[in-house]
Structure 1
Amino acid sequence: MKSPFRRPWFSTGGRQAVPEIQGTDTRRAETKTASGFAIVSGEGAAQWSGRSYAALARAGFMKNPVAYRAVRMIAEAAAAVPWLAYDGATELAEHPALALLARPNGRQGGPDFFEALYGHLALSGNAYVEPLSIGGSLRELHLLRPDRVSVVEGRDGWVAAYDYRAGGTTRRLAAESGGIALLHLKLFHPLDDHCGFPPLGAAGAALDLHNAAASWNKALLDNSARPSGALVYQPKDGGNLSADQYERLKDELEAGYSGAVNAGRPLLLEGGLDWKAMGLSPKDMDFIEAKNGAARDIALAFGVPPMLIGIPGDNTYANYQEANRAFYRLTVLPLISRTAASFSAWLSEAYGDRLRLEPDLDRIAGLSAEREALWARVGAAAFLSDEEKREAVGY
């Protein structure tokens, strides 16, 4: 185990030795000397995790409970909404597109397929749907993992094709073909013409802060729930510890006083040794509030009310039901609507119909109170005929 202690009192050439500051991000170093010891303090730039799909998936969805729950809430809520098909203003009770969306391929049902699709959008900002046609008829839909797809630009700057890498091979999929081509869904990106920007990317700083707080808390518990410090040697008659004395002291500290097993054990110091705390306590750092603030920023980036995830200190909504309704209205439904518009135009080319797909709002449990209020208002409108009332509520 690497010891956290160093030998700041080791002298060379009559001057106090200063440990070398490693790393290119260190901006300032300051040395303070006194009789028998030296303190080196440095100010360095923060270290951030990557913003690629794989980095966000590992640091966010697979490691951070707030990001994991936010992605699952959006993906599951959006995937559970059923679809309706229209030809112009006429609702279609049956259509091959509805059957295909209910069972996109042999390994996934509709909810599983769309949950993965919305998850790709949340973590990558992009989702790729590859069609499988047999005999000129569209039979299956398959999702391509975003980090395996790269855009191939043409000479005019527009997308010419997509390269998909998997299993050591690369397939090139045309952006436009004689039949139905690859469907690319993306979120708005201000600096990229062809790819989208993920919500979790905007919360990258808060994500790193939340993960670092959890790691710091775990390390603090493993080290007897005490902040870091230094063992200072200040003999009255001067001099330094010998190499053997230093190694023995280091071994005794590691064996007898480090780790959660030795929590609360008193530290016995010999003559000339003194313990100096060098870290802030969790109370001084306002640890809980900082972690909750980072969690609120993550939820804000996804559009999930913090109240729904159980984050304290947020009273934006009067109650849980109001927060849930805002979640559907402001986050879930816009995501479903833009996805439905893309699939409508895409599948219309496959089936040759004026197909229009829309979510079935009557079957969304989170909006049941709004639907009841709408039905009550329309039902009480004596100046409307029954046909006009049906059209007003979406039938």
Structure 2
Amino acid sequence: MKPSVLDRLFGRRVVVPEAKASRTGPLIALQVQGRPVWTGRDLASLAREGFMKNAVVYRAVTMIAEAAASVPWLLYEGADEIAAHPLTDLLAHPNRRQSGAAFLEALYGNLLVAGNAYAELVMLGTKPAELHTLRPDRMKIVPGADGWPEAYDYAVAGRSVRFPIGDGPSPILHLRLFHPLDDHYGFAPLEAAAIALDIHNAAGAWNKALLDNAARPSGALVYKGEGGGTLSQDQFERLKRELETNYQGAMNAGRPLLLEGGLDWTAMSLSPHDMDFMEAKNGAAREIALAFGVPPMLLGIPGDATYANYQEANRAFWRQTVLPLVGRTAQALTAWLAPAYGETLRLWYDADAVEALSVERAALWSRVEAAGFLSRDEKRAAVGYGPAGVGGSEGAGEEEGEGEWTP
């Protein structure tokens, strides 16, 4: 028998049964046990300033979420693929208001914008019946005595619902991106790109103000009246009103000024250094794309020559960003839902159904086809297929001739 952390801290000696548990969790629980752990940022502001007001962020998140949601699922029991199962039916029709693709797109979108994504499981008896996505900004984690979540609080308009975690399937699935300084919540890519996001938004606002002022920074009205005097206050206010009414805005761009009373217009131009703000904006856009793992070429951002062509950039996008995201989601869904069916199930994705990877797939098939030392079943195994069954015995590939095989 070992004393607990509280016993060691306060000098008490209480005999308790040993159990498997993290030795670091109770240290966290000393500070937060039974109370919601609030996020250290305003997720609503992050979503508004990033996803809702920045075209680069919007397109990057949408591209990843739509691509990941379009990947078909495969279900295995051991090494055998299962063609039809209630688990795949549930993922295809998670609830009455969403399709499977819409549900997953919302899940991935929340994960990318907030660093956290939550899904609710509705049980009908002992079997899963529905899945629903929940907004991350409304969810709070309640740690237990071991430091890890014992419940989730979901609050809307001052009212809160608690989802306790019991012995059965958890009512809440929490997906999170890695955060080095938080035990409970994930780190959003938008936070890593926060400086670049502010620069990009500020450059857009600056450009809009420039257009509102006749597409040039400004000019100077120089008064050259007799005796070097100045305009009276009334004259100054009248001149200011006339300029704002008749000469500002895109509709008045290039309209000539009608000057009187010794006024002279001196135009100002942008220096090459001032014009460099466009490059700064594009640089910020590249940083935002980098944070999300989207090749800038796919977002139409100029100045990026990392990839030789669009197809190569698209393959890198799928291999390095989309499929790893789908893979970790498949593992999380397996751990969450498979025990409810009482079977040894494994959920994975069907990479062969991804059109963007067809070139890689064709190259693999060509290499396998040219390997005359492999039997037909070995060739099928090399490309991810099972044995051919009757007629697919050892040596069948050599008997059929080189270059003539089908999976």
- TM-score bracket, normalised by the shorter chain, equals 0.7 to 0.9
| Corresponding residue of 1:55 | 45
User: How far apart in 1 are the matches of 2:298 and 2:253?
Assistant: 37
8 Å contact kept, 1:161–1:172: yes
Structure 1 residue 350, shift from structure 2 partner? 1.4
Deviates more, 1:313-322 or 1:173-182: 173-182
1:123 aligns with 2:113: yes
Structure 1 residue aligned with 2:95? 105
Between the aligned partners of 2:225 and 2:167, the Cα distance in structure 1 is: 83
Q: Residues 254 and 180 (structure 1 numbering): CA distance in 2 closer, same or farther, change over 3 Å?
A: closer
Question: What is the Cα deviation at residue 251 of structure 1?
Answer: 2.4
CA offset at residue 182 of structure 1?
A: 1.0
Alpha-carbon offset, residue 168 of structure 1 = 4.1
Q: Secondary structure at the match of 1:316?
A: coil
Offset of residue 167 of structure 1: 4.8
CA distance in 2, matches of 1:367, 1:162: 39
The structure with more helix, counted as a fraction of residues: 2
Match of 2:331 in 1: 341
Q: Map residues 187-336 of structure 1 onto 2, 5 A cutoff.
A: 187-229=177-219, 231=221, 237=227, 240-268=230-258, 280=270, 284-336=274-326
Superposed CA deviations along residues 269-317 of structure 1, whole A, max 9, x for unmatched, are 5567565678845873323322221221111111111111222211111
Considering only aligned residues, what root-mean-square deviation do their CA atoms show, in Å?
A: 2.4
For structure 1, the residue ranges without an aligned partner over 5 or more in a row are 1-49
1:157 counterpart = 2:147 = yes
Of 344, 353, 362, the match for 2:352 = 362
CA distance in 2 between partners of 1:57 and 1:277 (Å): 41
Q: How many Å separate the matches in 2 of 1:175 and 1:241? A: 75
State the shift of 1:102 in Å: 0.8
Query: Counterparts of 2:146 and 2:225 in 1: how far apart (Å)?
Result: 76
Distance 1:151 1:233 in 2: 66
Report if aligned partners of 1:51, 1:204 keep a CA contact under 8 Å in 2: no
CA deviations 1:11-63 (Å, max 9, x no partner) are xxxxxxxxxxxxxxxxxxxxxxxxxxxxxxxxxxxxxxx96332232222222
More strand by share: 1
1:243–1:316 Cα change, 3 Å: same
Alignment equivalent of 1:96, drawn from 80, 83, 86: 86
Q: Distance in 2 between matches of 1:279 and 1:153?
A: 60
Structure 2: where are the runs of 5+ without partners?
Answer: 1-39, 386-407
Q: State the alpha-carbon separation in 2 of the partners of residues 147 and 282 from structure 1.
A: 44
Decide whether aligned partners of structure 1 residues 180 and 216 sit closer, same or farther in structure 2, where only a CA change above 3 A counts.
same
Task: Tell me the TM-score normalized by structure 1.
Answer: 0.80
Aligned in 2, Cα 1:292/1:181: closer, same or farther, shift over 3 Å?
A: same
Normalising to structure 2: TM-score of the pair?
Answer: 0.78
- Partners of 2:272 and 2:206 in 1: how far apart? 10
Displacement of 1:228 in angstroms is: 3.5
Q: Which stretch has the larger CA shift, 96-105 or 256-265?
A: 256-265
AA partner of residue 338 (structure 1):
R
Q: For each residue in 1:67-91, what CA deviation from the matched residue of structure 2 results, as whole angstroms up to 9, or x when unmatched?
A: 1111111111111110111112121
Q: Residues 180 and 350 of structure 1 are in contact (CA less than 8 Å); yes or no, is this contact kept in structure 2?
A: no
Matches of 2:365 and 2:306, distance apart in 1? 28
* Kept in 2: contact 1:151–1:194 (CA 8 A): yes
Work out whether 1:185 is the aligned partner of 2:167: no
Q: What is the CA deviation profile of residues 158-214 of structure 1, one whole-angstrom value per residue up to 9, with x for unaligned ones? A: 222111112542101124443433110010111111111111221222222222222
Sequence identity (%) = 67
Code of the residue aligned with 2:275 in structure 1: it is M
Maintained 8 Å contact 1:189/1:196: yes
Change in 2 beyond 3 A, CA 1:247/1:74: same
Equivalent residues, number: 346
Deviations 1:319-371 (A, max 9, x none): 11111111111000110111111111111221122211110011011111111
Instruction: Please say if residues 347 and 355 of structure 1, whose CA atoms lie closer than 8 Å, have aligned partners that are also in contact.
Output: no
The residue identity in structure 2 corresponding to 1:368 is S
List 4+ stretches of structure 1 deviating above 6 A: 276-279
Q: Counterpart of 2:128 in 1: which secondary structure?
A: strand
